[in-house]
């Protein structure tokens, strides 16, 4: 390697290292603050790492004293149940629909696909008003089931759009061979198609997971003052809006909200990048 | 186009196909009916379509109706009847200086952030493509974590970083020499209440941090599809790295850039969560963007779903114009096969 090329490689790696560290820094700072005792948090010379790490902030968040509306686990349970229900419902519905668009030619197929593209662009802020009025009439406002209905429907356009590519790549011959062997349609679906589109389902599930776990405006509007039903983002927002500069506990709560997702994403990383690029839509 | 269901026995229920009709059990008869009328795709589509229609399309239609009505709290509770008010909601909106302020904030923000995100994302995508495996894994891993951080946590976190009491940014700026950062007293500088410019600076850095990873990864995926021989040839012809980008990379990735551009515009117009937290809603109205302004009109005091509806409609119209561009770009790319 010539000296000039070596110098360029070194500077390239140096820049990359800086970019990586700067990108990671805010997350690091959140976790670091969460472990700092109060005097260190407001110290005039902030230190990178807590010099006397403490679990006190986590204690007050887990005990519920800091937010005043309950222990963090309650909001975890709300968020998780809403998210899981959304993932299951959106996966089933979008799988069925994507089989329809990938495997059949029918009238309105093209219009349906274009409708999906347009519908996913409707801003949530435009729908929330009518959804609020409707769900109020249905008595589904202070109700986690109401959130699931909205989230699942909102995840559908992108999920169908992503899944149809996966269904389309499964060779028809496999299904035809199974049919010749006398397998029924449901059996072919479960035994042949389903295992083969599994990677696609994982990718779309990740997408609906993010949609539901991060969703803000619908939960904020629907749940109102019913603290016991708050999902994690609404809990963090309430906590934050309460004031009193409880940055230690707030960062502890944010850490508990964020870190599980980050670990999850590191695990599913490979599949995620492939699936997102295949779908290349909405984040 | 030939009906593929005809060629594919796979999704047709096979049992009982050859038997005489009266002998069929009810299930098989239903299956035969589905087959005869080619209903299978419609049945598969029905649940998803119902969900989309009821939760996305019908509310949109309702919002259109609301925008021409005086729909507010008394109408919601049924205390007063709903009245048609013509274009009153729209005239009220267009004569409200707050509306123009929020529109200005929204557009200015998008005009600044969209190019910044695309430039930063593309630059990092190009860099990732030239890094060794370990370094590339480190940078893309860091980017993935930034992207995966829930927006609410990200906003609260950046609020804390830019906080006047104990925030790291003010501390750092106060340490820097005056010739570099100006003579402002940075210690305890309040980023979120001083003015819209300051609040949007925080928002810009936050949104850059969250959205460059998607651009970088998409650009990287595009770069992987460019045949290496093209770069080889360019190098032999003595092209520099800028020339290579302009003559080879950019033209080949143009469709990807177009889609990323439109998506970024849509995302940056839609920012709600972060500005809700940074502006400390409800407060600092001069910091509202269009979506926060419309939310305030609809759900603030007194709630006016009609006014909010009119605004939502204007907002949707702007996005629709952008979306048409997105769909056309997608069609040109051939994603609607």
3-state secondary structure string across B152-172: HHHHHHHHHHCCCCCCHHHHH
Partner-chain contact A236 B156, CB within 8 Å: yes
Pick from B60, B168, B217: CB nearest A273: B217
pLDDT at B193: 85
Q: Among residues B171, B206, B141, B150, which one has the least CA distance to residue A253? A: B150
Average pLDDT over residues A20-45: 94
Whether B129 has its CB under 8 Å from any CB of chain A: the answer is no
Average pLDDT over residues B209-238: 88
Whether A76 has its CB under 8 Å from any CB of chain B: the answer is no
Whether B294 has its CB under 8 Å from any CB of chain A: the answer is yes
pLDDT digits over B166-205, tens only? 889 999 898 888 888 887 788 888 898 888 999 999 999 9
Partner-chain contact B127 A16, CB within 8 Å: yes
Q: What is the mean pLDDT of chain A?
A: 89
pLDDT at B253: 87
pTM summary value: 0.87
ipTM of the complex: 0.89
- Count CA within 13 A, CB hemisphere, residue B142: 21
Torsion, Cα B239 B121 B161 A125, to 10 degrees, reads 160
Partner-chain contact A100 B327, CB within 8 Å: no
Partner-chain contact B295 A125, CB within 8 Å: yes
pLDDT digits over A87-138, tens only? 999 999 999 999 999 888 888 888 998 888 888 878 888 899 999 999 999 9
Q: Å from A110 to nearest chain B CA?
A: 8
Partner-chain contact B161 A121, CB within 8 Å: no
Whether B273 has its CB under 8 Å from any CB of chain A: the answer is yes
- pLDDT tier for residue A200 given thresholds of 50, 70 and 90: confident
- Residue B262 token pair: 């439109």
d(CA B126, CA B51): 41
Taken in order B326, B218, B274, A155, the sign of the CA dihedral is positive
Whether A133 has its CB under 8 Å from any CB of chain B: the answer is yes
pLDDT at B293: 93
Q: Other CB atoms closer than 10 Å to residue A131's CB: what's the count? A: 27
Average pLDDT over residues B54-80: 91
pLDDT at A282: 36
């Amino acid at each position: 390697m010539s000296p000039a090329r070596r110098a360029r490689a070194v500077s390239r790696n140096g820049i990359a290292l800086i970019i990586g560290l700067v990108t990671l820094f805010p997350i690091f700072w959140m976790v670091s603050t969460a472990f700092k005792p109060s005097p260190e948090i407001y110290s005039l010379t902030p230190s990178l790492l807590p010099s006397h790490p403490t679990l006190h902030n986590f204690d007050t968040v887990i005990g519920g004293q800091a937010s005043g509306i309950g222990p963090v686990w309650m909001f975890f349970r709300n968020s998780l149940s809403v998210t899981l229900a959304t993932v299951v419902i959106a996966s089933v519905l979008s799988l069925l629909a994507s089989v329809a668009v990938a495997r059949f030619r029918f009238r309105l197929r093209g219009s349906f696909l274009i409708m999906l593209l347009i519908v996913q662009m409707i801003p949530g802020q435009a729908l929330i008003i009518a959804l609020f009025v409707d769900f109020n009439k249905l008595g589904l406002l202070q109700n986690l089931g109401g959130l699931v209905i909205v989230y699942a429907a909102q995840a559908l356009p992108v999920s169908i759009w992503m899944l149809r590519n996966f269904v389309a790549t499964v060779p028809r011959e496999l299904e035809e061979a199974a049919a010749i062997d006398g397998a029924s349609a449901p059996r072919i679906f479960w035994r042949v198609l389903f295992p083969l589109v599994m990677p696609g389902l994982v990718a779309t599930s990740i997408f609906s997971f993010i949609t539901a776990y991060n969703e803000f405006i619908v939960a904020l509007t629907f749940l109102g003052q019913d603290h016991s039903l708050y999902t994690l983002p609404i809990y963090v927002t309430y906590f934050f809006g309460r004031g009193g500069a409880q940055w230690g506990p707030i960062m502890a709560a944010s850490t508990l909200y964020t870190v599980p997702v980050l670990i999850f994403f590191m695990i599913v990383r490979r599949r995620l990048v492939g699936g997102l690029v295949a779908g290349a839509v909405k984040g | 186009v030939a009906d593929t269901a005809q060629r594919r026995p796979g999704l047709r229920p096979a049992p009982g196909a050859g038997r005489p009709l009266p002998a069929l059990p009810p299930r098989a008869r239903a299956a035969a009916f589905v087959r005869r009328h080619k209903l299978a795709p419609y049945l598969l589509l029905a649940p998803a379509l119902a969900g989309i229609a009821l939760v996305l399309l019908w509310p949109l239609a309702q919002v259109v109706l609301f925008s021409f009505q005086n729909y507010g709290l008394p109408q919601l509770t049924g205390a007063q009847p709903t009245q048609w008010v013509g274009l009153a909601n729209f005239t009220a909106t267009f004569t409200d200086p707050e509306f123009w302020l929020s529109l200005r904030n929204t557009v200015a923000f998008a005009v600044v952030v969209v190019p910044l995100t695309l430039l930063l994302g593309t630059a990092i995508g190009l860099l990732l493509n030239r890094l060794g495996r370990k370094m590339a894994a480190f940078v893309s891993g860091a980017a993935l974590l930034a992207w995966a951080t829930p927006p609410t946590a990200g906003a609260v976190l950046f609020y804390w970083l830019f906080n006047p009491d104990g925030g790291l940014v003010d501390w750092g700026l106060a340490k820097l020499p005056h010739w570099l950062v100006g003579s402002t007293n940075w210690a305890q500088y309040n980023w979120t209440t001083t003015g819209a410019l300051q609040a949007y600076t925080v928002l810009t850095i936050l949104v850059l941090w969250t959205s460059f990873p998607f651009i970088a990864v998409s650009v990287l995926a595009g770069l992987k599809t460019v045949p290496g021989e093209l770069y080889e040839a360019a190098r032999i012809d003595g092209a520099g790295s800028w020339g290579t980008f302009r003559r080879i990379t950019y033209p080949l990735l143009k469709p990807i850039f177009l889609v990323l551009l439109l998506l970024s515009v849509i995302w940056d117009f839609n920012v709600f969560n972060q500005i809700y937290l940074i502006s400390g809603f409800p407060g600092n109205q001069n910091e509202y963007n269009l979506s926060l302004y419309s939310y305030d009109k609809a759900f603030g005091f007194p709630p006016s779903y009609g006014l909010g509806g009119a605004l939502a409609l204007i907002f949707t119209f702007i996005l629709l114009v952008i979306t048409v561009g997105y769909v056309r770009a997608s069609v040109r790319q051939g994603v609607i096969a």
